[in-house]
């Protein structure tokens, strides 16, 4: 029998086990991410994120940490599907956007929840284990702050096939999803226009 993809038919512990297996270990960030994802889906009214609702929503994550793996595990959203967007803000937060209704909620992890965790398990001296156990049982409003927001998703950022594909007039690489830059009358990739994160040392041809 195929496992259900509906959130309402899975317990928190089941979702946490799935997420930890994908992530590689259980940690407080996994607990926080699973709780955050469950809350975000609930706010949007999404019950079957990996099934019939999979094309109905997107998630923007603001940090590349453990919780992001948990959010991907629970929601089924991913970079490859273009349903998960990474905004490099360094904030433990994620925004859930319903593509059909336009409703959007930004959920931010409360910093004070770290200290509050000690009240739940005062006998656990290791702070990380204390947070891990406390985050399982703390109330949503103790863990998170929720903002109703508006997100105008550009057409080029929507899931689906690329709108266009053009060639950089400097390096020759092909650019998808409207990421090209027009400078001095030329179409350029962002690395050529602004400088890349890499520096070419030599060109290697694949061996036969």
Q: What does residue 187 show for φ and ψ, rounded to 5 degrees? A: -95, 120
Domain C-terminal end among 114, 138, 155: 155
Q: What is the DSSP letter of 3?
A: P
Query: What range defines the domain where residue 97 resides?
Result: 7-155
Tokens 């949503």 label which residue?
Answer: 140
pTM: 0.91
What are 137-177's pLDDT values in tens digits?
Answer: 999 999 999 999 999 999 999 998 898 999 999 999 999 99
**Residue 115 Cα distances to 8, 82, 196, angstroms:** 30, 36, 41
b/e code 138-151 from CB counts within 10 Å (16+ = b): beeebbbeeeeeeb
Q: What is the pLDDT of residues 54-75, one digit of tens each?
A: 999 999 999 999 999 999 999 9
* Domain match, 12 and 103 both: yes
Does 106 reside within a domain? yes
Note the pLDDT tens digit of each residue in 67-107.
Answer: 999 999 999 999 999 999 999 999 999 999 999 999 999 99
**173 burial class (0-12, 13-18, 19+ CB within 10 angstroms)?**
exposed
Same domain (yes/no): 151, 173: no
Which band of pLDDT confidence, cut at 50, 70 and 90, is reported for residue 4? Answer: low
């Amino acid at each position: 029998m195929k496992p259900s993809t509906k959130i309402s038919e899975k317990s928190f512990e089941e979702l946490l086990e799935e997420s930890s297996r994908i992530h590689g270990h259980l940690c407080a960030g996994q607990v926080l991410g699973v709780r955050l994802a469950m809350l975000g889906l609930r706010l949007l009214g999404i019950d079957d994120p990996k099934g019939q609702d999979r094309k109905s929503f997107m998630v923007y994550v603001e940090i590349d940490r453990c919780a992001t793996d948990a959010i991907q595990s629970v929601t089924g959203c991913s970079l490859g599907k273009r349903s998960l967007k990474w905004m490099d803000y360094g904030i433990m937060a994620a925004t859930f956007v319903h593509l059909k209704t336009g409703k959007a909620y930004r959920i931010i992890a409360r910093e004070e929840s770290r200290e509050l965790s000690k009240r739940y398990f005062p006998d656990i001296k290791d702070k990380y284990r204390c947070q891990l156990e406390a985050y399982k049982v703390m109330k949503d409003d103790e863990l998170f702050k929720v903002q109703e927001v508006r997100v105008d998703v550009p057409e080029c950022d929507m899931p689906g096939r690329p709108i266009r594909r053009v060639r950089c007039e400097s390096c020759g690489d092909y650019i998808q999803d409207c990421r090209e830059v027009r400078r001095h009358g030329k179409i350029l990739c962002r690395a050529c226009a602004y400088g890349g994160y890499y520096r070419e040392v030599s060109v290697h041809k694949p061996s036969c």
